[in-house]
Structure 1
Amino acid sequence: MITNQTKIRVRYGETDQMGYVYYGNYAQFFEVGRVEWLRALGASYKSLEESGIMLPVIELNIKYMKPARYDDLLTITTKLSKKPLVKIEFDFEVRNEKEELLTTGYTSLVFMDMKKNKPIKAPAYLLEQIYSQFN
């Protein structure tokens, strides 16, 4: 499947009293991973929205194994789970500089027509880019 890696440095404001990354911030890390995954494919959230398509998250799962800490350089690996139709699904891994697996996750998003507020099929140009990567 199509994979992309993004590096993120943990900022102080992303940690809790224990010095660990606050659990809710992982959803934002996954969003950064998805945005950069699309950008690497030659698309963007901005271009999708400009064409009248939004991508709301309809499912999010996170499994925490080890904590990330302030100033850690994290690698967010974003992998397309399967070929999209109306939904697009991603798997995530978060590793630290020692390559320790800290967190895994999954998100499912749906392509929505912004005017009609109804699910639609993924745009053809995006599917072409994705399918070309599978061959």
Structure 2
Amino acid sequence: MSFFKINISPRYSETDQMGIIHHSNYLIYMEQARLAWLSSLGFSYEKMEKEGILLPVYKIDIVYKKPIKFDDVISVKVRLKALPTARVVFVYVIVNNFDVICGTCVLTLVFTDAHTFRPRKPIPEFVEACQRLF
């Protein structure tokens, strides 16, 4: 499965005193990429929430390799690690404008019933859309 990619220009307000993008913003950038990926499949969190599904974070494993600087334009690449079950696992790679890897991440979300907060299966249309990617 290939990566889906978006480009982001970090804002000055996302930097620390050294002109480096604060590490907490990596999660925001990854969420932007994931939302764009979902949209490209014809889905959104809003659509899933209307179906009674929430997607809380179960696990995040981020490796910070090189700092992102204010003037960098970054590419955030995202793909599924495997077909979703009650969990969906995303793999991310963030590269700067010199194609240097700045960070990698494996993020696990859990499909959760919005009323009982218990794990559940994803909606079949979402699984079908994901199957076409493999």
Letter matched to residue 40 of structure 2: A
TM-score for the superposition, normalised by structure 1 = 0.95
In 1: Cα distance, 2:61 partner to 2:109 partner: 12
What residue is the counterpart of 2:65 in the other structure?
Answer: 65
Q: Which residue of 2 aligns with 1:116?
A: 116
Q: Which runs of 4+ in 1 moved over 6 A?
A: none
For residue 133 of structure 1, report the CA deviation from its aligned partner.
Answer: 2.1
Structure 1 segment 1-135 matched on structure 2, within 5 A: 1-134=1-134
Q: Which amino acid aligns with 2:13?
A: G
Q: Does the residue aligned with 2:132 lie in a helix, a strand or coil?
A: helix
CA drift of 1:79 comes to: 1.1
Cα deviation for residue 3 of structure 1 reads 2.4
Q: 2: distance between equivalents of 1:120 and 1:33?
A: 24
1:42 aligned counterpart, secondary structure: coil
SS of 1:31's partner is: helix
Distance 1:17 1:64 in 2: 18
Percent identity over the alignment? 34
After TM superposition, give the deviation of residue 2 of structure 1 in Å: 4.8
**Number of residue pairs the alignment of both structures matches:** 134
Distance 1:19 1:61 in 2: 24
Task: Look up the SS of the partner of 1:28 in the other structure.
Answer: helix
Alpha-carbon distance in structure 2 between the residues aligned to 1:21 and 1:74: 11
Gap runs ≥5 in structure 2: none
- Give the Cα–Cα distance (whole angstroms) in 2 for the partners of residues 2 and 83 of structure 1: 14
TM-score normalised over the length of structure 2: 0.96
Cα distance in 2 between the residues matched to 1:25 and 1:75: 14
Aligned equivalents of 1:133 and 1:27: distance in 2? 24
Q: Cα deviation per residue 1:19-65 (whole Å; 9 max; x = unaligned)?
A: 10101111111111111111111111111112111101110111111
Task: Flag structure 1 segments of 5+ consecutive residues without an equivalent.
Answer: none
**Distance of 1:37 and 1:57 partners within structure 2:** 17
Aligned alpha-carbon RMSD (Å): 1.0
